[in-house]
Structure 1
C-alpha cells in the first residue's frame, strides 16, 4: 500500500556547513585579536613602568646629590652652580646614575642624543650596553633663592607611538 520513503538527509547541507565555518572563523579571529591586543597593551605598560622608574631614579639621584652636598657643609648656591651647572637654568642634561654625583662622568651636557643603554648587569647607563628606546633628560629651574624645580622627562618610542613620562619635584635649601 504505502511505500516507505527513505530519508537520504543524513549530513549537513552546504549552507549549514558554511555558516558553521563562518562562526568558527569569527570566534577564532576574535580570540586571536584579543590576545594580540592584550600582549601589546602589556608591553606598553611594561615600557611605561620602566620609564617611570628611570625618571624616579634620576630624581632620587639629584636629591641624593643635594643632600650629600649640603651635609658635607657646602652652600646651597654652590650645589646649584657647580654640581648641577649642566642641568641648571633651562639647560637639559642626562644623569648616569651608576656614577657618584661628584664624578664628572655622571652628567652629560646634552639630551639631544641621550638614549640610555642597557648593559649586561641589567643597568641603564650612557657608557656601554645595547641601545634602548628610552631617552632621559633633567631640567633644573630656579624658583627663588631657596627653591628649585627639578623635572625629569623620559621619552620613548613604542608600539603606540612616542610617549613621555614627566616627574617634577621642588627641592629646597633645608639647612
Structure 2
C-alpha cells in the first residue's frame, strides 16, 4: 500500500514573497527619496547664495557710481545748481519703475585701474536703462569658462549661457523722490529657481548719501 509522506520542508508562499519585496522596496526607496530631496535642497541653497551675491553686486556698483559722481562733480559743492547732481545720472536710469540692469563688464580703462561709469562713450556705460520693462535686460548670463555672471542690453551668445536668474535695480529719492539732495533708496531685486523649481525673489535694500552736499 502507498503511503504519502508530508513534506517537512516549508516553502515560501506567494504572500511572503510579496511582503518581502515590499519591505525591501520601502527600505531602498526611503534613502533614495531622502537623497533626492537633499540634492534639490542643495541646489536651491546654491541658487539662493548666488542670488544674494548678485543683489549685493548690483548695489555695490551703484555705490561705486555714487562715489565717482560725488568725487568728480563740483556742481553741488560750488552752489545749489539743481541739488542732486551727485545721483542725477543714476536716478535717471534706474528710477522706480521700471528700473535698470547692471553690466559689470562695462567699465572704463583708467590708467592701471578700471571704473564703472554712466557718462562714458558707447559700450562703457555700466547701467542699462529698461525701456518700459526689464524682461530682456534683467536676464543674467553666465560664462562657464570664467565663472562670471553679467547682464547685457543685447542677447548674448556662446560662451555666455542664459540663466534662470534675473536682476533689476530700483532707485528713488528719500528726501525728494525725483530730486534727492541728501539721500536715495536703492533696491536690488533678484529672482531665481528655488526648491522644486519654484520661482523665488530676494530683495536687498540700502540707502546711499550725498557725501559732499552744498552747505550755504
Q: Which TM-score applies when normalising by structure 2? A: 0.71
Alpha-carbon distance between aligned partners in 2 of 1:46 and 1:83, rounded to the nearest angstrom: 31
Report deviation, 1:141: 0.8
Residue aligning to 2:164 = 133
Residue aligning to 1:106 = 126
Report deviation, 1:62: 0.7
Look up the SS of the partner of 2:135 in the other structure: coil
Alpha-carbon distance between aligned partners in 2 of 1:107 and 1:77, rounded to the nearest angstrom: 18
Cα distance per residue 1:42-83 (max 9 Å; x no partner): 111111111110000001111111122212344471132124
1:89–1:142 CA contact under 8 A, matched in 2: no
Alignment of 1:145-164 (within 5 A): 145-158=181-194, 159-164=196-201
Alpha-carbon distance between aligned partners in 2 of 1:122 and 1:32, rounded to the nearest angstrom: 31
Report deviation, 1:30: 1.5
Report deviation, 1:168: 0.6
1:123 aligns with 2:148: yes
Q: Which TM-score applies when normalising by structure 1? A: 0.86
Alpha-carbon distance between aligned partners in 2 of 1:98 and 1:84, rounded to the nearest angstrom: 21
State the aligned residue count: 171
1:56–1:167 CA contact under 8 A, matched in 2: yes
Shifted more, 95-104 versus 55-64: the winner is 95-104
Indicate the structure whose relative CO is greater, using CA pairs within 8 Å and at least 6 residues apart: 2
Residue aligning to 2:113 = none
Residue aligning to 2:208 = 171
Report deviation, 1:18: 2.1
Residue aligning to 1:82 = 89
Alpha-carbon distance between aligned partners in 1 of 2:41 and 2:9, rounded to the nearest angstrom: 49
C-alpha RMSD of the superposition: 2.1
